[in-house]
Amino acid sequence: MKENILIDTHAHINSEKFDQERGKIITNAIENGIGGIINMGDTMESSQYVLELAQEYDICYAGVGVHPEEAFEMGKRDFDQLAIWAKNKKVVCIGEIGLDYYWEKDGEKRALQRRIFIQQLDLARQLNLPVCVHNRDAHGDTMEILKKEGRGIRGVMHCFSGSLEIARELVKMDWYIGVDGPLTFKNAAKLPEIVKEIPLERILVETDCPYMAPQPVRGKRNEPAYVRFVAEKLAELKGLDFETVQKQTTLNAISLYPRLEQG
């Protein structure tokens, strides 16, 4: 993989919002200097689909896993299936997995989220794959689980929304922090300050498209080409030129996800 490209490390171009336009979106990404798009599964069905996209398009890679908002009681067959998909070299991680207490208020369903989060961390360890973690309004439990159950696993806290203290803990654990559209928002709160404090070597850029479109396209449908706006903002905050940020964040992505170079 070349260094003069950007990688959108977290996308969902499998979304129905891209139906009929997927080819066009990919062409637009390539024309804008994007060299890799990692589409994250969130259900068993979408995990299969992001892998199909990865096989169809060179530029696409995949994460397979069950998202907390889609949590269900996973059985052996589900884990066996994830493991089979994960044998494919274009599957770079188990993801996206984690906890979402913003959308889920029910105590039992939150307990189910924790259970399948831990089970999928175990699967990642067995497969020797990194993880992509979704965490919304569940910082305490997410960090506790990662510390207790995440031994020997590397990963990224995607769409980072925690405190500087949590960011520092993740850096200590050799983890990465994923930043996307909100970094560019005028009401971005503490994220720009956190990004200034965290070494560039620990930051990944992502879109989370079709959601989270950055400035100047905020409110529109997001797409991988727009990861450039996130990288530009990161360069501005760090006082670095764009090429440095491009090169380093691509190296970071390859370091966390070695299959970007093998797949």
Q: Between 98 and 263, whose beta carbon lies closer to Ni ion? A: 98
Binding mask 190-209 vs Ni ion (x if CB under 5 A, - otherwise)?
Answer: ------------------x-
Q: Between 70 and 169, whose beta carbon lies closer to Ni ion? A: 70
Instruction: In angstroms, give the least distance from the CB of 171 to Ni ion.
Output: 22
Q: Which of residues 47-66 bind Ni ion (CB under 5 A)?
A: none
Those residues with Cβ within 8 angstroms of residue 203's Cβ, 6 or more apart along the chain or in another chain? 176, 177, 178, 179, 195, 234, 249, 252
- DSSP letter assigned to residue 162: S
Question: Which residue of this chain has its Cβ atom nearest to Ni ion in the complex?
Answer: 208
Q: Is 72 exposed, middle or buried (0-12, 13-18, 19+ CB in 10 A)?
A: exposed
Instruction: In angstroms, give the least distance from the CB of 95 to Ni ion.
Output: 8
Instruction: In angstroms, give the least distance from the CB of 158 to Ni ion.
Output: 6
User: Does 180 interact with Ni ion (rule: CB under 5 A)?
Assistant: no
3 HSE (CA, 13 A, CB side): 10
Those residues with Cβ within 8 angstroms of residue 97's Cβ, 6 or more apart along the chain or in another chain? 65, 66, 67, 68, 116, 117, 120, 121, 131, 132, 133, 134
Q: Between 41 and 150, whose beta carbon lies closer to Ni ion? A: 41
Question: Which residue type is seen at 162?
Answer: G
Q: Between 60 and 235, whose beta carbon lies closer to Ni ion? A: 60
Q: Between 8 and 208, whose beta carbon lies closer to Ni ion? A: 208
Q: Tell me, by CB under 5 A, how many residues bind Ni ion.
A: 1
Site of interaction with Ni ion (CB under 5 A): 208
